[in-house]
Amino acid sequence: MKKAVILLSGGLDSTTCMAVAKAEGYELYPISFDYGQKHDRELALASKIAEHYSAAEHRVIKMQNIGGSALTDSDIEVPEYSEDGGVPVTYVPARNLLFLSYALGYAEVVGADAIFIGVSSVDYSGYPDCRPEFIDAFRKMVEVGTVAGLEGNPIEIVTPLIDLSKAETVKLGVKLGAPYEYTTSCYNGEEEACGVCDSCVLRLRGFQEAGIEDPIAYKKLT
What residues form the annotated binding site for Zn(2+)? 186, 194, 197, 200
Q: Among candidates 192, 170, 202, 212, which has minimal Cα distance to 13?
A: 170
Q: Among candidates 18, 6, 11, which has minimal Cα distance to 166?
A: 11
Contacts of 35 (CB under 8 A, 6+ apart): 63, 65, 72, 92, 95, 98
Residues annotated within a binding site for ATP? 8-18
What's the rounded Cα separation, in Å, for the pair 222 and 111? Answer: 44
Helix (H, G, I), strand (E, B) or coil at 40: coil
Q: Among candidates 52, 53, 32, 41, which has minimal Cα distance to 199?
A: 41
The answer to whether the CB of 37 falls within 8 A of the CB of 1 is: no
Residues annotated within a binding site? 8-18, 186, 194, 197, 200
- 190-212 in b/e burial notation, b at 16+ Cβ within 10 A? eeebbbbbbbbbbbbbbbbebee
- Taking each helix axis from N to C end, the angle separating 198-210 and 166-175, rounded to the nearest 10 degrees, works out to 60
What's the rounded Cα separation, in Å, for the pair 136 and 141? Answer: 9
What's phi and psi for 156, nearest 5 deg? -80, 135
